[in-house]
Structure formats: structure tokens, C-alpha cells
Structure 1
Amino acid sequence: MPPKKPPPLPRSLFTGGGPLSPSALQQPPSPSTVHPASIVDAHNHGIPLEHFPELQNMPPVTGSVTVAVGVERSGSGKHISVPACVIDDDPDLQTVTTASAIDLVVPCTGPLGESGWEAVDEAVNQLDGGRQKVEEEVAAGTPSRKILVSGLLPPPLTKRSSPLLHSAEYETHCGHLSQLSLHSDVVLKVLPPIVDTHVAGSSPWWEDVHELERVVKMYLGPALEAFGTHRIVFGSQPALAPSDPATVVPVSGAAWYVLLRKCIAELGEESEAMTAIMAKNAEELYNL
């Protein structure tokens, strides 16, 4: 005999305030309600985020890290200065510092090609001894120092979201970034983007905040997937202060915090992850 059909479920389960009705299902939090508990400005050039008056209605800024070329680590407590190791400037990166967290700056003003990514890989390998060495240290319970890479998240902006999506530079970036994430000691700093108008053209599409958000999310999404929220750190200033008048910074400081918070929330991250990116990760990495 064929099996008996189960009795139909009453419509009341699915309508009105029934337990299976759409109104009863738990909805994800609105992006506008997802905020960090605090902020640590982990990358600035001497003017930390807390000095910006726009922060009146934002979470408290509890720490800052000033990053500069040619300085010694200084400061104490929640506010410190650290040296920047620029890939092109110091071929012998092992001699730069013995700190537990090293700032490695990628000084690019355009998309990295294969040779540029090779230079990043060589620098990381020189600092940590290679992925195998890092894995051995982790297995032995002696974690290696962390390498905080600046200049890659997001990279210098060149295109609007639609042409960027189908471009070779975007495919190259996402592929190499995924490879870089296999170094478990590498952390990315998510910093305000720069635009070289010689590369991106003179039409200022980056002044459209909605288009800028779309492009930032295109780079932020793959980075979150590859590195996780525990290996991404917020900073309010670009990797290096631009010296060429043709290089512009579309958004920085408090405005960058506002834009980035919105992008992270719209990508589905909740308050705990938001706090990790905006504050907690930097506190742990720099022992603030």
C-alpha cells in the first residue's frame, strides 16, 4: 500500500502571527543599527581620529597608532607611534624591527601587476620566514610576529564598479589577496583609498559617495572572506600621505569611518565583528 499522506498543516501556522509566518521569522539587524562598541584609529599620520569634531555621535575613540617612516616605536598606553616598513625603501626588512607587530606598507598608486605582488610576497616571506615556518611556530605554540599590511585594502581606485567587476586588475587582486591570506600572521589594514588621477582619469566618479561605497565593498567582501574579521584593522588615513598633487584622497578621517562602518554592516557583519575590526584587533596586535 502507498504510504499515507501526512495531514495538512493548518493555515494559521503561516498567516497572521503564526510561528511560521514571515512576520515571526527573526530578521537580521538593520545595517543602520550595527555599530562598534569603541574605535581604535590604528593608522594615522599624526592626527588621530579622536581630534575630529565630527565624532560627537560616534563610539568613543579609545586608542591610536601613528605610523611614520624613519621613527622608533614610542608612546605608551593607548596611544603609540610605530615605524612603517616600506617595501621599496628597505630591502633588508629583517633588520627593521623586532616588535611583535610590524607595519608593512605597499607604496602603490595603481593596481599591482604580477611583479608588484611578487614583491609583496617576498617582503612577507622575508619577515616571517615563509608559510611553513609560520605553521610550525603556531603548531609549537610560539606564534610569530604579526605583519600588518597597508595599501592593499582597498588598493588605489581606478574604475567604477561595473567596469571594475569585469577587469583583469580586479581578478588579479582578488586572486593574489587570497594567496596572501594563507600567511596566518598577515593582517590587513583597511584604510582610506587613494586615487591617482593620471591612472583613474579626470572624471571624478569617486566623488559620488554611493559609487565609492560600491567599489569599496567590492574589495572589502573578498578580503573579509579570505582573512576573516579577526585579521582586518581600521585606520583613518591612507597607507602613506600622498606627495603628488595628482593623487587625491576621496574620503578619510571621520568620513571614512562612517562609510566603512556602513559597508561592513551591509556586507552582513554584526556588532561583535564590527568592534573587532574597528577596535579590538588593533588593541591586541599593538598591546594597547
Structure 2
Amino acid sequence: MSTTAALPPTPKSPGHSVGARRKGPKQLPTLPLSAFTPPNTGTSDKFPLPPSPSTIQPEEIVDAHVIAPTGDLSSWKSQAGQNLGGRIRGVVVSLHGAEDVEKVVQDVSAASSSTPVLAIAVPFKLEDGVPASPPSYLASGSTSKPTIVLSATFSTSSQPAIDALAWALTEGFTVNIDIQSDLQQESGWEEFEEFLTKATASPDAKGKIILSNILPPPDDLTLPIFKLLTHPTYRSYQSHTASLSLFANLFVNFLPPAWGAPTPPTPAPPSSEDAAKAAAEAEKLKLEWKRRLKMYIGPAIEAFGFQRVLFGSSPAAPLTGTSPASSAGDWYELARESFAELGVEQDAIDAVFAQNAKLVYGASS
């Protein structure tokens, strides 16, 4: 597959050094609690507060993960609202659940739309191994527009799965991998790292990998944040996120999380006393989600930098049938505010919400 834009510099692949990295994982800085809570009233005026989240908006948005099995974006558009839909400059359409992938690919490629489709993510089963007779849309060296990328799920490592990913990367495909292994256990992280190490060992592996369901990972909302800070699963997340960042051409999607609840909406201005109480409760829930999100954004940014994180509004594909649905517009507001409240600069917001996806999917500026 051809790429029309140069990627930012990435670290060298760790090759077969996974064992060494486990013995001495990258030590991440500990994020201060002040990153997740507002400053107290005694904060000196010599230390400026971060910009208000309402004032930091991406100049444009590329939604890197929109699930639309038929290619129809009308449902996504109805959810997006003005804040997301008004800034959109392109989408990556995932055909998870499509019945006739080849037909949908043809229809989407031929259709004219006010929302540009940068890429189409087609289902790709790693466990089936290297495809013996790839469909026409996977023809080697295809230069079709939109770009065809592969959407796969990882649950356990196997030789066919290793061979399939190695083949896809050698062919130059971008592969979106939804991680469905148990990352609550150390063994789940280690197995996935071993899988990537073997699949990316070839020097001819020139494709890119994008991980989903890792930023943020599945979490238990009943676990208080102050306990999460020192919980073994969170420490493991910090360490292994750093290890994964050592793989060259590896990116992460920032998607609605698998937390067993829909994304809390931004409360509307109250019109009555009862509405004011409901709005206060909704704002409290939203604040709790943002604090938890920032717990995971911090280590991911420390590991990958702002150049390897891509915003998407649909959850990881296998979760759509089991988790409550989130509104694309609600998730965008929550995601944007979570980044903005970390005090990041405008160029970082622009990178996460648009520019990185343009680079990965080869879109011209």
C-alpha cells in the first residue's frame, strides 16, 4: 500500500528484546494528583492556570473510528452534533458487522459525500492466517481511494495469527487491532507483546499498527480513583504502555471506553429547580469520568507522545453489542475536555483530533 504523507519519527522496533524490556521496563514519571484535580484557592497567581477547556478546540477533526456496517453515515451524523460534525474533515469507516464487505467497499468508494472518507477498515481475522485468495480490495499494491485498512481482534496468540499480521504489515497495510485479551493480568500483556514482537520481526514489515481498547482500557467504575492510583493493574498499564511504545509505527486509538456505561453527556442549562439538580448530578458524573480518563491519558502520552494518539468516536468493534451505546458528540466533548484540562497546547489538540489520522491514513492536508 502506498503512503502519501511522511510519518513522524518513531522509535526503533524492539525486535526480540521483549525479555530484556520485561526485566527493566521503562520507568514512567508519576503523575501528580494536581493533574486530576483543580488547584486550591491558595495557588499563587504567579502560576497561570491551564486554559479553559471551552477555549481549546481543534481547528479541524478527523474521526479515526466510525462504525458503519453499511457505509451509511447518517446515524453518526445525527449523534455528532455541531461541535464534532461542524469541524469534521474526514472519517475512517469501520465495516465491522457488514454482511457483504466487497459490495459496501465498492459503494463507499463510489459514493460522493459531504464527509470525506479517508479510509475503510475491513474485517480481517488473524486466526485464519494468511489469506490464500485475498478479495479484490486487498490486492497487493492497491492504490484505491479511500485507503483500505484491516480491522482485526486479538484474544490469544497463535502461529496463524502471527503469520497473518506479518503478511499484512509486509504488504504495507495499516492494521487496527482491538485488544480483547485479559489485560487485568500480567500474562495478558506479555502474550500480546510476544505476539507483536514475532509478527513485526521481518525487516519488510512496513505497515502500521493501531491499537484499540487500550486508551483507555476496560476498567471497573466501582474502584475509587484514589485506589486506582496504586492498584497493580494501573501500575501494569503504565509499565506496559511504555513497552508497547517501543514498537515502530505503532499508534493508539482514543475511543469510548468499555466501562459498562455510556459516555455521560454534557448537561444542558437547567430551566427549573429539578432540572438544576439533575444537571448537577450529571456534571458530577462527567467530572468523575474525566478524572479517570486523565489517569490513562497521562501514561499514554508520556509513552507515545501526542503524535501517536488518534481520536475516534465509536468504541472498539467487539464492544458495540455488549456495552451501552455512547453518543459520538458526548464522547467528543468528554475527550476534548479531558485533554484540554491537562494543560496541553493547541498543537497537541490538533495532532490528536486530526493531524495524526491524516498522516497515518495518507490524507493530504
Same fold (TM over 0.5): yes
Question: 1:221 and 2:294 equivalent?
Answer: no
> Any residues of structure 2 matched to 1:249-288 within 5 Å, and which?
249=325, 251-288=326-363
Question: 1:80 and 2:119 equivalent?
Answer: yes
Between the aligned partners of 2:244 and 2:184, the Cα distance in structure 1 is 14
Code of the aligned partner of 1:149: L
Among 138, 163, 174, which residue is 1:101 paired with? 174
Between the aligned partners of 1:54 and 1:150, the Cα distance in structure 2 is 20
> Any residues of structure 2 matched to 1:128-139 within 5 Å, and which?
128-129=200-201
Deviation at 1:87, TM superposition (A): 1.5
Q: Rg bigger for which structure?
A: 1
Between the aligned partners of 2:90 and 2:260, the Cα distance in structure 1 is 31
Change (3 A) 1:82 1:99: farther
Change (3 A) 1:22 1:173: closer
Structure 1 gap ranges (5+): 1-20, 138-142, 198-204
Question: 1:155 and 2:217 equivalent?
Answer: yes
**1:140-161: CA deviations, max 9, x gaps?**
xxx9322111110000121331
Change (3 A) 1:120 1:280: same
Paired position in structure 2 for 1:43: 65
Paired position in structure 1 for 2:188: 116
Stretches of 4+ aligned residues off by more than 4 angstroms:
25-28, 47-50, 69-77
Structure 2 gap ranges (5+): 1-43, 110-115, 123-150, 262-281
Question: 1:179 and 2:206 equivalent?
Answer: no
Q: What is the TM-score when the length of structure 1 is the normalising length?
A: 0.74
Is the Cα–Cα contact under 8 Å of residues 154 and 177 in structure 2 kept in the other structure? yes
RMSD of aligned alpha carbons: 3.2
Code of the aligned partner of 1:107: Q
How many residue pairs get aligned? The number is 247
Determine what percentage of the aligned residue pairs are the same residue. Answer: 32
Change (3 A) 1:28 1:168: closer
Deviation at 1:117, TM superposition (A): 0.9
Between the aligned partners of 2:353 and 2:315, the Cα distance in structure 1 is 16
Deviation at 1:185, TM superposition (A): 1.4
Question: 1:125 and 2:197 equivalent?
Answer: yes
Between the aligned partners of 1:271 and 1:32, the Cα distance in structure 2 is 12
Is the Cα–Cα contact under 8 Å of residues 44 and 237 in structure 1 kept in the other structure? yes
Between the aligned partners of 1:28 and 1:213, the Cα distance in structure 2 is 15
Change (3 A) 1:52 1:161: farther
Among 280, 285, 303, which residue is 1:208 paired with? 285
Deviation at 1:43, TM superposition (A): 0.8
Paired position in structure 2 for 1:66: 93
Deviation at 1:195, TM superposition (A): 2.1
